[in-house]
Amino acid sequence: MTASMPLSLDVNGERVDADVLPRLNLADFLREHLKLTGTHVGCEHGVCGACTVRFNGEIVRSCLMLAVQAHHGLVETIEGLSDSGEISDLQAAFRDRNALQCGFCTPGILMAAQDLLKQNFLPDREQIREHLSGNYCRCTGYQAIVDAVEITARARKGRAS
């Protein structure tokens, strides 16, 4: 029988300590141990992007990362970004532009879109598509998602100038 390992990390600004099996992936740890179910699990092999979270400031696919690899790290989930207000304008744009339907892909897409907007204040539509190309959506056809990200980028630029 495999022994559990101690895990200590920061999740959305709060210290978390746990004992986990070494094979437990980060997505399952967030969802099942911490009940942070905004991180979705679709393909479980790194393709769909539904499980996207931030780890030490970079977006990662949490289905491809073991929970123990996050030891002493900083994890931010969609709940953290939402509660802090960091993406409130992006979320509003998604609502206004009908950029979500079933919503399964939405947390991962919001994480990826915010990652882009932090790196590039005014991406063009091609850059938005490129950055979101690792996030699958089965409902929207992507057009409205690109619209929402583009509108948010312009609004942020307007507020900054």
**Closer residue to ligand FES in complex, CB, 15/35:** 35
Rank residues 75 and 156 by Cβ distance to ligand FES and give the closer one: 75
- Could you tell me whether strands 74-76 and 5-11 are parallel, antiparallel, or unpaired per DSSP bridges? parallel
Residue 38 found at the interface with ligand FES (CB under 6 A): no
Q: How far apart are CA 19 and CA 33, in angstroms?
A: 10
Q: Any contact of residue 49 with ligand FES (CB under 6 A)?
A: yes
Q: Does 43 bind ligand FES (CB under 6 A)?
A: yes
Residues 22 and 56: their CA atoms lie apart, in Å, by 20
Residue 133 amino acid letter: S
Least gap, CB of 156 to ligand FES (angstroms):
23
What's the rounded Cα separation, in Å, for the pair 125 and 150? Answer: 7
Smallest separation, CB 149 to ligand FES (Å)? 14
- Kindly state whether residue 50 participates in binding ligand FES, applying the rule CB under 6 A: yes
* Site pattern 97..116 for ligand FES (x: CB under 6 A): ---xxxxxxx----------
User: What is the rounded CA–CA span in Å between residue 10 and residue 32?
Assistant: 17
Nearest Cα to Cα of residue 10 among 65, 80, 60, 62? 80
- Residues at the contact surface with ligand FES, assessed by CB under 6 A: 41-44, 46-51, 61, 63, 100-106, 137-140
